[in-house]
């Protein structure tokens, strides 16, 4: 059953078309990964779903309610984890939760129960009396999540929730996302860490220039690039002649060079590796490291947009 529906949605900023006739449904119980390079329209789309921006054309519904006609009711069903830390520095962790809980109408015993549940869920019970300045970056991110879920929303929107944190905190947050989903929450998750979305997303949509250019499960999407793989090569010193000859190989689809490093995107072939090693050796290029990578979402993203998501700034 669909929880979020966007029908022919358009948003312009002056003469710029930010969201271009976007139609999309997000099912109840999904972890929906929303990907796209800078300027793709992700943030604008999220803001319109939340009722923070009005669309110029089309309609958005959340849980059967049009956002344009029932913005307050819709907002009560949504929890937002923004990319930027959104906490009150003068309040403790528990006080931040109580503040945000009151905004959603929680009071008295019910409010206190939800605060305790959110602290326990995010592993912050022992830091309940600490102010954000005393918390690590990962703990601040977890408190950000706690503030978004204290009212137990049906829909949770997470916009780059793991930016700038250590691997342990990132794993904790990803497991929290899975657990929230197991408890019934529908989640829209954006990230420039492609492997995160690939690991947790039940379905993925890729936006570019305001349009939905790909939609499906990871398996559905990877079918589009299953004939490709990537070869990453670190060398002592590359020559232009070696790079040019590799580009001309029949199995090579694309070559990216960064100093003495190469990323070669290829069709599957039994002989390509031997051929490329021969070319490098012929031009006196010594290999330091070499590894192959089977197709993944990064490969698909590059094919569809011509850009690498990881190279985009963590933003729009």
Range(s) of the chain covered by CATH 3.30.70.100: 223-305
Range(s) of the chain covered by CATH 3.40.50.300: 2-217
Q: What is the mean pLDDT of residues 91-119?
A: 96
The Cα 95–Cα 203 span in angstroms is: 36
CB atoms inside a 10 Å sphere around CB 13: 11
Q: Which helix (H) or strand (E) holds 277?
A: helix 272-282
Residue 313: predicted pLDDT: 44
Reading the block at residue 298, the tokens are 């990064």
Using alpha carbons, list the distances in angstroms from residue 249 to 66, 220, 263. Answer: 54, 29, 14
Dihedral in degrees, nearest 10, Cα atoms 32, 33, 36, 41 = 30
Number of H helices, E strands in the chain: 11, 14
pLDDT-derived band at 227 (thresholds 50, 70, 90) equals low
Among the residue ranges 10-19, 104-113, 189-198, 222-231, the one predicted with the least confidence is 222-231
Q: Is the pLDDT of residue 275 over 60?
A: yes
Residue 314: predicted pLDDT: 38
Residue 315: predicted pLDDT: 38
Q: Which of 157-161, 195-199, 226-230 reaches the highest mean pLDDT?
A: 157-161
pLDDT-derived band at 195 (thresholds 50, 70, 90) equals confident
Q: Which of 28-32, 259-263, 271-275, 285-289 reaches the highest mean pLDDT?
A: 28-32
Does the domain made of 2-217 have the CATH classification 3.40.50.300? yes
Residue 308: predicted pLDDT: 62
The Cα 156–Cα 26 span in angstroms is: 12
Closest CA to 134 of 91, 190, 193: 91
Computed over every residue of the chain, the mean pLDDT equals 89
Q: What is the mean pLDDT of residues 87-97?
A: 96
The Cα 190–Cα 13 span in angstroms is: 22
Q: Is the pLDDT of residue 269 over 50?
A: yes
Q: What is the mean pLDDT of residues 35-62?
A: 92
Residue 303: predicted pLDDT: 72
Does the domain made of 223-305 have the CATH classification 3.30.360.10? no
Q: Classify residue 85 by its DSSP letter.
A: -
User: Can you give the pTM of this predicted structure?
Assistant: 0.78
Q: Is the pLDDT of residue 309 over 70?
A: no
């Amino acid at each position: 059953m669909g929880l979020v529906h966007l029908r022919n949605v358009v948003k312009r900023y002056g003469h710029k078309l930010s969201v271009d006739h976007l139609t999309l449904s997000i099912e109840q119980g999904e972890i929906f990964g929303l990907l796209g390079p800078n300027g793709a329209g992700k943030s604008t789309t999220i803001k319109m779903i939340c009722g923070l921006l009005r669309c110029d054309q089309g309609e958005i519904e959340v849980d059967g309610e049009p956002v344009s006609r029932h913005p307050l009711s819709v907002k009560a069903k949504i929890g937002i984890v923004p990319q930027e830390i959104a906490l009150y520095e003068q309040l403790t962790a528990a006080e931040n939760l109580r503040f945000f809980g009151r905004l959603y109408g929680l009071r008295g015993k019910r409010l206190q129960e939800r605060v305790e549940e959110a602290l326990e869920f995010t592993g912050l019970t022992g830091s309940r009396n600490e102010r954000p300045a005393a918390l690590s970056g990962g703990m601040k991110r977890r408190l950000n999540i706690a503030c978004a879920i204290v009212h137990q929303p049906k829909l949770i929107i997470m916009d780059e929730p793991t930016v700038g944190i250590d691997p342990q905190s990132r794993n904790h947050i990803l497991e929290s996302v899975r657990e929230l989903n197991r408890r019934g929450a529908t989640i829209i998750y954006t990230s420039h860490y492609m492997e995160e979305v690939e690991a947790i997303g039940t379905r993925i949509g890729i936006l570019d220039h305001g349009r939905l250019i790909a939609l499906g499960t990871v398996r559905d999407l990877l079918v589009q690039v299953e004939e490709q793989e990537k070869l990453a090569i670190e060398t002592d010193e590359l020559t232009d002649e070696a790079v040019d000859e590799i580009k001309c190989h029949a199995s090579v689809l694309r070559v990216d060079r960064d100093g003495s490093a190469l990323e070669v995107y290829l069709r599957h072939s039994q002989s390509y590796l031997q051929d490329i090693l021969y070319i490098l050796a012929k031009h006196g290029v010594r290999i330091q490291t070499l590894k192959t990578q089977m197709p993944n979402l990064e490969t698909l993203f590059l094919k569809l947009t011509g850009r690498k998501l990881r190279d985009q700034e963590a933003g729009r």
